[in-house]
Structure 1
């Protein structure tokens, strides 16, 4: 299993209404650091299966994705944001270790 790819139209349903913590990876295909994070994020999705949800959103895929990223204060990518109970609780920017992501989510 790997991270779930979503678009802005599924953000509320998948991220904000989740009963589990959600890590959202805001990224873009042209971003080298984002591509470096891809395997780490996918591995994290496997490790957290059942405990948390890990999703990726390509901010350039649609105008709605771009607008959602702006609404969520994403100015630099990769931007990894942890949501709990529909609210942002933490964020990290740039290339991160899996351990840093687990700590950010209070799951490791």
Structure 2
């Protein structure tokens, strides 16, 4: 969105005049940004290795423009840093995390297991 605001200060008027009043901003997003987003989305959503975009078969069949592992990892690092900064700005200086019995890593099969685990 920062690219849209920086490169198209009157983007709201441009959208209204473009016939795209439905609200999509995709025409205003840089092609490389779309490519990077698509690869990050695919790799993260499918729990794939970072080298996935350079796989020979993937390159052969993917309709997304190619991207190197180095570029993918660099962009993911920058994205992680940006998200960390946003979360840090939202969280109070002091906060607590509470775990309850239902989020325990152990599986309790019956009441006896529960009593033994938490006795």
Give the strand-richer structure, 1 or 2. 1
Coarse TM-score class (shorter-chain normalised): under 0.3
Give the helix-richer structure, 1 or 2. 2
TM-score by length of 2: 0.21
